[in-house]
Amino acid sequence: MNSAIPRLKQAVAVSIAATILSAPPSFSQISTNQRQNTMTAQQTLSRTQQAIAPITVAAATGDMAQLSVALNEGLDAGLTVSETKEILVQLYAYAGFPRSLNALGALMKVVDARRQRGVQDAPGRDPNAPIPSGKDLLAAGTATQTKLAGAPVQGPVFEFAPAIDEYLKTHLFGDIFARDNLDWQSRELATVGVLSAAEGIEAQLQSHVRISMNVGITPAQLRSVAEVLSERDQPEAARRLRNAIEQVEAAAKR
């Protein structure tokens, strides 16, 4: 699969969430031991969770000044260096390698500057769950994709381009989501941020709003993400996210 990975920077970013839309929406809770910050309907997002989307919005739009502020706020809120790196590594699947690499470079500068000021950020941990390979990787990725979407993912796009189906299952949902130094809720908060950063990908954003609900994030908590984006001078991203939440809720009532 290594030879196929470079092609993902275009294929995954365009196709991942749109293909998930072919699965029926589900609002069921997903049980997984990957969660580190499980939330209930009565709880609000933690400061750490609230810090994720502003980071990925700034990174996806290439606003390096805003990204530096968001990274500092995230580390101050309790994100570990490992978690923050993982958020920015995952970014490439939705915004491309250039944005991800630039954002990781910005994180290096932020961490170094904080160290020089005497701030000792928690390093966090590297992934330690074993990553399967070959057919086992495909099976694991398929199972993860099904859990996230709430049903097996099918659609004409997979029949038209079977390669993207394999890449999504083996690499994104297999390789990346198997990395257990970042829980699934945090990964979805990061993805919602990335997808709210640009026009023209509303269907993908709505898809990941549904997935966020599937992994236990409530509509109210997602709206609080939009409020945070507004407060962080990211009003367009906040507007897109609010619209996506409304569309998903309206569809669920039909």
Residue range 129-158, pLDDT digits in tens:
899 999 999 999 999 999 999 999 989 999
**Spatial CA neighbour of 53 closest among 252, 203, 200, 245:** 245
Mean pLDDT of 211-231: 97
Q: What confidence score (pLDDT) does residue 199 get?
A: 94
Residues 187, 238, 14, 71, Cα dihedral to 10°: -50
Q: What confidence score (pLDDT) does residue 70 get?
A: 98
Percent of the chain past pLDDT 70, that is, above it, reads 83
* Tens digit of each residue's pLDDT (9 = 90 or more) over 151-199: 999 899 999 999 999 999 999 999 999 999 999 999 999 999 999 999 9
206 burial type by CB count under 10 A (0-12 exposed, 13-18 middle, 19+ buried): buried
- Residue-level length of the chain: 254
Say if residues 150 and 25 touch (Cβ distance below 8 Å).
yes
Residue whose entry in the numeric block shows the structure tokens 């810090």: 51
Domains of the chain listed by start with CATH number? 2-24+41-123+133-253 (1.20.1290.10)
Selected residue with higher pLDDT from 2 and 95 = 95
Neighbours of 181 (CB within 10 A): 18
Distance of CA 53 to the CA centre of its chain: 9
Q: CA-CA distance, 184 to 27, in Å (whole number)? A: 15
Q: Which residues contact 243 (CB under 8 A, 6 or more apart)?
A: 202
Tokens for 201, please give them. Answer: 């990908």
pLDDT, mean over the chain: 87
Identity of the amino acid at 149 = A
Neighbours of 104 (CB within 10 A): 16
pTM assigned to the model:
0.83
Q: CA-CA distance, 123 to 118, in Å (whole number)? A: 15
> Helix, strand, or coil here: 209?
helix
Identity of the amino acid at 201 = I
* Tens digit of each residue's pLDDT (9 = 90 or more) over 71-110: 999 999 999 999 999 999 999 999 999 999 999 999 999 9
Judge whether residue 4 has pLDDT over 90: no
